[in-house]
Structure 1
Amino acid sequence: MKEFIAFVIKEGRHILRDKRTMLILFAMPIVLMLLFGFAISTDVRNVRTVVVTSKMSYLTQQKVLQLSQSEYFSIIRHVHTPAEAEQLIRSQKADMAIVFSNEFDSRQGSIQLITDGADPNMAQQYANYASLVLQNAPLHNPITMQLLYNPQMKSSYNFVPGIMGMLLMLICAMMTSISIVKEKERGTMEILLVSPVRPLLIIIAKAVPYLLLAFTVLICILLMSHFVLNVPLAGSLLAIILISSLYILLALSLGLLISTMAKTQLAALIVSAVILLMPSALLSGMMFPVESMPKILQCLSAIMPPTYYIAAMRKLMIMGVSVENAIQEVLVLAGMTAIFLLVALKKFNTRLE
């Protein structure tokens, strides 16, 4: 046990002395959290809005006032015809037009929304936000709408669980695989294997520091998300940490598996980036809903570990449900962990023999 602890301390010192590694481990989470939390945001703010109406009745005034008082819309012009509003949108002077029909004061009245469809995602966002605001204003036949868990529709609620899944996977899998492959590339792995410590314990000793660093990064992400981005931790903090621990173990197992296949650090880096980085960002549901993807991509998403971790974190952090509601994701992650770990250890033992 003393030799094992000595190996853990040795590996920890190597990591702490490597400034580039420390920069990746701690600077990257902070930068990504700030970018996705503030800069890369899908939140709707100050949409330049044109009001189209032939007469400004009391009910129309109430609607326009409701829009102008919200933080989402900025009323820039009042015009009389939809053609005038369309011209303003075409000339990039407005983002959306709200057309009140002539019979709006009656029960047959209606509202038409005109948005710039060149960016369909933002156009849909504008329409959704406008519908939400207008439905909250007085109507002859009011329609109530309630948004659960994220009433202000903040994009950070969606991004933070995704960033957690991507960062923990990259830190644990990529850094672990590169660390082990570096020993093989330098020829020092053979020296370590003839030491009094069993080969399997050497590999575990190299993974333990990254395990501890992953927990540190996890705590930093949770603190930043709650106190900087105002993302709630509605569910059990213990459940969040336990499921994250399982996910970290899965990522370490995947990193060990990559290290048994790659012969150089560059190869390990490329494999980690191709297998982990792009799929984690694009196919896990972090940025785009899985349900809207083609069937083939949905199948690829179903074999991505971050897909299940992100889904579980959204349930626990945002929705605040109990861990029983995330049991399916937990079982899938546990199964993947067992498979990756068994395959990695078998390949590692085969190489030793």
Structure 2
Amino acid sequence: MNRFFAFVKKEFFHILRDRRTLLILFGMPLAMVLVFGFALTNEIKNARIAVLDYDHGQHSRQITDRLLSSGYFQLQRNLSSYRDIEATFRQGKVKLVVVFPANFTNDYAHHAQVQLLADASEQNTAISLTNYATNIIQGYAQEQNPPDAVVPLQIVVEPRMVFNPELKGAFVFVPGVMALVLLLVSALMTSVTIAREKETGTMEVLMVSPLSQLQILFGKVLPYLLLSFVNGCVIIALGVFLLGIPLNGSLLLLLCETMLFIFLALAIGLLISTLADTQLVAMFASLLLMLMPTIFLSGFIFPIESMPRFLQIVSNIIPAKYFIDIVKGIMIKGVGLSDLWQPTLVLFGMATVLMAVSLRNLKPRLE
């Protein structure tokens, strides 16, 4: 029995000395609980909206104040004309536009109307925001009704879904799945294949070949770059021809952005391969660093605006966040590079930095 307890004691010490085991036992569950607890919510807060007020009357101002004080909305800008609405949506600056007609005050005692236009490229967000706004506006109308009113005051809310009037779930599903698949295939496979070469010792054999180290590395990466690009093209084709997603923008721009995102994913895989000594570690690190953040912190499923401020800041380093916005912008909204240069520049900067760091870390190990 003493031998048994000594063996158990030895195993405890072995686990406590292994940082990777401790990370799996305690780090991953803690991270999952925090992310699930804060990110898994259908409630939307601080959604950016715009107001187009042709009336400028007392009731339109009070309803606007009521919307902004609810905690669900924050005012991004005041619009001056109806032509500004589509441009604002295409820029991705707002999720909802509230329109008060010019005769809103005069019609208030009879049959006033308010129009709600939502960016339905994010289907669930658009439905939730229109429901929130409708309940707040109708609640305001009920409060304004006098107790002895024969005909109660009414405000008719007319919601309209922009870019996705039929509220197809594929408009949200396809860009997110595209980002997830390309990340996993590109980064996971790249990190595993290089880790396998290092683990089996065949990388040293390659070093004696006439090829340079840089040629060997890019020779390893190039097949996954091309195969992942084919995956991206297949997903785009299925989305357009099978699921009915429009391609309102430039196909060439979409393909170039896809190639840039794949190159970034390969850079992530190379970076993981420089830090991992075995295939198992590389696979675990790839899944932990990409799968969960992409699903929960990219805006794929849960709106980023509803997350705590800390997670909103963390989401800025998630590459899929920018790629999903780019795919939606090109395919659904039909915007060009003039509106997408910022997320494109972020992806390019990430890819450049990660590739440089990966090559710098990997070369000393191969020498």
Asked if these proteins are the same fold (TM beyond 0.5), I'd say: yes
Q: How does 1:17-96 map to 2 (within 5 A)?
A: none
Q: Deviations over 1:249-305 (max 9, x none)?
A: 111111111111101100000000000011011100100111111111111100111
How far did 1:146 drift? 2.2
Residue 173 in 1 paired to residue 195 in 2? no
Map of 2:349 onto structure 1: 335
Distance 2:305 2:130 in 1: 21
Write the letter of the residue equivalent to 1:153: L
Residue 193 (structure 1) aligned with residue 198 (structure 2):
no
Matching residue within 210, 213, 221 for 2:224: 210
SS, match of residue 167 in structure 2: coil
Does residue 347 of structure 1 match 2:361? yes
> By how many angstroms is 1:317 displaced?
1.1
Deviation at 1:125, TM superposition (A): 5.2
After TM superposition, the score normalised by the length of structure 2 is 0.59
Distance in 2 between the 1:127 and 1:176 partners? 43
Cα distance in 1 between the residues matched to 2:128 and 2:316: 27
Asked if residue 226 in structure 1 is aligned to residue 243 in structure 2, the reply is: no
In structure 1, distance between residues paired with 2:310 and 2:154: 46
The one-letter code matched in structure 2 to 1:330 is T
Instruction: Decide which of 241, 257, 270 is 1:243's aligned counterpart.
Output: 257
Q: Which amino acid aligns with 1:236?
A: S
Describe the SS at the equivalent of 2:342. Answer: helix
The Cα shift of 1:141 comes to 6.5
CA distance in 2, matches of 1:181, 1:239: 34
* 3-state SS of paired residue (2:159): coil
Structure 2 residue identity aligned to 1:167:
V
Task: State how 1:113-128 maps to structure 2 within 5 Å.
Answer: 128=131
Deviation, 1:226, is 1.1
Instruction: Give the C-alpha shift of residue 171 in structure 1.
Output: 0.7
Cα displacement (A) at 1:209 = 0.7
Determine the structure 2 residue equivalent to 1:160.
174
Question: Which residue matches 2:47?
Answer: none
The code of the aligned residue for 2:245 comes to: V
Q: Retained in 1: the 8 A contact 2:184–2:291?
A: yes
Q: Which runs of 5+ in 2 are unaligned?
A: 1-41, 43-108, 113-123, 139-152
In 2, Cα distance between the equivalents of 1:126 and 1:310? 20
- 1:44-102 deviation line (CA, Å, top 9, x unaligned): xxxxxxxxxxxxxxxxxxxxxxxxxxxxxxxxxxxxxxxxxxxxxxxxxxxxxxxxxxx
Identity percentage of aligned residues: 43
What residue is the counterpart of 2:314 in the other structure?
Answer: 300
* Whole-angstrom CA distance in 2 between matches of 1:143 and 1:166: 37
Using the TM superposition, give the Cα deviation of residue 142 of structure 1 relative to its aligned residue in structure 2, in angstroms.
Answer: 4.9
Question: Once the two structures are superposed, what CA deviation does each residue of 1:286-341 show, in whole Å capped at 9, x if it has no partner?
Answer: 00111111111111100111111111111111111122111100010011011101
| Partner SS for 1:342 | helix
Q: How many angstroms apart in 2 are the aligned matches of 1:212 and 1:108?
A: 60
Report the TM-score, using the length of structure 1 for normalisation.
Answer: 0.61
* 1:325 equivalent among 339, 344, 361: 339
Q: Give 1:200's aligned amino acid.
A: L
Task: Find the aligned partners of 1:140 and 1:346 in 2 and give their Cα distance.
Answer: 67
Q: 2:270 aligns with which of 243, 250, 256?
A: 256
Distance (Å, rounded) in 2 between the aligned partners of 1:141 and 1:176: 58
Change (3 A) 1:303 1:141: closer
> How far off its partner does 1:128 sit?
3.7
Which string of whole-angstrom CA distances, capped at 9 and with x for unpartnered residues, describes residues 84-134 of structure 1? xxxxxxxxxxxxxxxxxxxxxx9489xxxxxxxxxxx89x759849x79xx
CA, structure 1 residues 322+155, in 2 after alignment: closer, same or farther (shift >3 Å)? same
- Determine if contact 2:207/2:366 at 8 Å carries over to the other structure: no
Q: 1:184 aligned to 2:204?
A: no
Give the Cα separation in 2 of the matches to 1:127 and 1:332: 31
Question: Using the alignment, how far apart are the partners of 1:180 and 1:125 within structure 2?
Answer: 45
User: What 5-or-longer segments of structure 1 have no aligned partner?
Assistant: 1-41, 43-105, 110-120
Aligned pairs, number: 233
Could you say what the CA RMSD is over the residues aligned between the two structures, in angstroms? 2.9
Corresponding residue for residue 312 of structure 1: 326
Name the CA shift for 1:307/1:125 in 2 (closer, same or farther; >3 Å): closer
CA distance in 2, matches of 1:141, 1:260: 62
- The answer to which of 342-351 and 266-275 deviates more is 342-351
2:330 maps to a residue whose letter is L
Q: How far apart in 2 are the matches of 1:140 and 1:295?
A: 38
Counterpart residue number, 1:278: 292
* Cα shift at 1:352: 2.7
Moved over 2 A (4+): 106-109, 124-129, 139-146
